[in-house]
Structure 1
Amino acid sequence: MRLDKYLKVSRLIKRRTVANEACDAGRVTVNDKPVKASYNVKVGDIIEIGFGNKAVKVEVLNVQETVKKESAAELFRYL
């Protein structure tokens, strides 16, 4: 699954276009490397997202195309 779609489905970022812009701006890294929105997310990847002066770091636990809002937190684990 594409990184921008994963960020939206997992509810880490609310809209896919915002996720795409964050990737283009270099605020999203996977395994300590800046990546494009088209990066293919795999289980075990470590994603770090910069929000201003704050950063969120998560590990990918599951990759699903669609998921209910209540189950979105099961797709990743905060580090």
Structure 2
Amino acid sequence: MRIDKYLWCIRFFKTRSIATEACKKGHVKINNASIKPSKLIFNKETITIRKNQINYKIEVLDIPANRVGAKLVDLYRKDITPAEEFEKFDLLKYSKDYYRKKGTGRPTKKDRRDIEGYNDED
């Protein structure tokens, strides 16, 4: 089965075209080698997928005939993503929240003066 179709079948990507684009951009690797969307996959191969700034690692257990239900996905793949990847994502999320809250708009003159005063103290 093609890699783009497999990733769509195991519900890793919402559409097959999104899976194809991810392969073309180099976000999907088999055994640490970039691949084309038409690459055939087999059992026991390790796939690395970069999605939402996380490097997921999955192992192919079996090839499904069609797209499977969400409850049956674990029959066809094994998630071997290290816990450190999720911890890095959490740290990145918290570091973004540190600067400005979402929806507060542009900094006012007072905010700008405070920022400049803070930078001048260094």
Give the ranges of 4+ consecutive aligned residues of structure 1 lying more than 6 Å apart after TM superposition: none
- Aligned-pair CA distance for 1:68: 3.1
Which of 1 and 2 has greater Rg?
2
TM-score (norm 1): 0.92
Instruction: After superposition, give the CA deviation of every residue in 1:56-79 in whole Å (9 maximum; x if it has no partner).
Output: 100000001223332122110011
Give the structure 1 partner of residue 70 of structure 2.
69
Root-mean-square deviation (CA, aligned residues, Å) is 1.1
Q: Percent identity?
A: 32
Instruction: After superposition, give the CA deviation of every residue in 1:26-74 in whole Å (9 maximum; x if it has no partner).
Output: 0100011000100001001100100142111000000012233321221
Alignment of structure 1 residues 19-58 onto 2, 5 Å: 19-58=19-58
Q: Distance in 1 between matches of 2:69 and 2:22?
A: 24
C-alpha spacing 1:52/1:70, structure 2 compared with 1 (3 Å): closer
Structure with bigger strand share is 1
Structure ranking higher on relative contact order (CA contacts 8 Å, 6+ apart): 1
TM-score (norm 2): 0.61
**Aligned residue pairs, count:** 79
Counterpart secondary structure, 2:62: coil
Gaps of 5+ in 2: 81-122
Structure with bigger helix share is 2
